[in-house]
Amino acid sequence: NTVMTQSPTSMFISVGDRVTMNCKASQNVGTNVDWYQQKTGQSPKLLIYGASNRYTGVPDRFTGSGSGTDFTLTISNMQAEDLAVYYCLQYNYNPFTFGSGTKLEIK
């Protein structure tokens, strides 16, 4: 199975910060990577599909990049409503596999 390794596990941030989190695939997955946001008590929401495409309605402070094995989600100008756990997903290989998540917490 393709392992998706996310880092860091958690981050303590302040409103207005620029936040960068990473996801590394154990094999080449092309650009078949999504990023999801899950706030406490809610279901996940798609943010980025195809590694770098912002989903409908997602603010432009969210940017995805990468291809092959290394992927990045960047939040410029962090807002309080962005506090959540962020997951990456690869769908290049069966089974589809998620990373273990990066949790954003207030400093």
Partner 1 sequence: EVQLVETGGGLVQPGRSLKLSCVASGFTFNNYWMSWTRQAPGKGLEWVASITNSGGSTYYPDSVKGRFTISRDNAQNTLYLQMNSLRSEDTATYYCTRGNLSPFDYWGQGVMVTVSS
Q: How far apart are CA 29 and CA 54, in angstroms?
A: 19
Total residues found in the chain within this entry: 107
H or E segment and range at residue 10: strand 10-13
Q: Cis check for the bond before 8: say yes or no (omega within 30 of 0).
A: yes
Binding mask 15-44 vs partner 1 (x if CB under 8 A, - otherwise)?
Answer: -------------------x-x------xx
Q: Is 93 in the site for partner 1 (CB under 8 A)?
A: no
Picking from 76, 77, 59, 68, the residue whose alpha carbon sits closest to that of residue 16 is: 77
The span from the CA of 53 to the CA of 65, in Å, is: 9
Residue 76 or 91: the one with the smaller Cβ distance to partner 1 is 91
Q: How far is the CB of 16 from partner 1 (least distance, A)?
A: 28
| One residue of 53, 74, 77, 79 binding partner 1 per CB under 8 A | 53
Tell me the closest approach of the beta carbon of residue 101 to partner 1, in angstroms: 5
Residues lying near partner 1 in the complex (CB under 8 A):
1, 34, 36, 43-46, 49-50, 53, 55, 87, 89, 91, 94-101
